[in-house]
Amino acid sequence: MIETQEEHALGTRSSDRERRTKRRFDIEQEVRYKMLYGQRIAETGSGKTMNISSGGVWFTTENMLTTGMPVELSMTWPVLLNDSCPMKLMIYGCVVRSNGKNAAVAIERYEFRTQGSKPLQPFSAPTTFENRVPN
């Protein structure tokens, strides 16, 4: 391997440099994952995101995940929509790396879903009710 003068001066080689082209953000959020086998759920678990970019997610896992398997991730987004509505980020992708307690997923598509601004209150009928018979 031949080093350029700049690489030699900086003490780096082209293979040592960062290969990622997308900016990664250190976002630590609880995440739930579903390993998919066709239309069936093969495995579920939870963990915590370590960092995320528009191209992928690095997160902790309960078990080693199978490389190449499709996966669905679900996480609460840390910012509210219009300062009032919680959001959920759904990520659909493929496991590209797993080392026992961590996994990397390449994002194929994603979507934000609203979770509502308040929990729904159970419907209760009025406590007083008058039956009126028409005359």
Task: Report whether 20 contacts 10 (CB < 8 A).
Answer: no
Q: What is the CA 38 to chain-centroid distance, rounded?
A: 20
Q: What is the CATH number of the domain that holds 81?
A: 2.40.10.220
Distance CA 104, CA 101 (A): 11
Phi-psi region of 83 (alpha: psi -120 to 50; beta: other; left: phi over 0): left
> Does 83 fall in a domain?
yes
Query: What is the total count of domains within the chain?
Result: 1
What does pTM read for this prediction? 0.70
> Does 38 fall in a domain?
yes
> Does 126 fall in a domain?
no
Instruction: Collect the ranges in the chain with pLDDT lower than 70.
Output: 1-20, 116-135
- E strand or H helix at 37: strand 30-37
> Does 100 fall in a domain?
yes
Residue 26 confidence (pLDDT): 92
Residue 37 confidence (pLDDT): 86
Pairing status of strand 70-81 against strand 85-98: antiparallel
Question: Hey, which bits of 38-121 come out as E strands?
Answer: 40-52, 56-60, 70-81, 85-98, 102-114
Domain of 58? 20-114
> Does 71 fall in a domain?
yes
> Does 5 fall in a domain?
no
Residue 134 confidence (pLDDT): 54
> Does 122 fall in a domain?
no
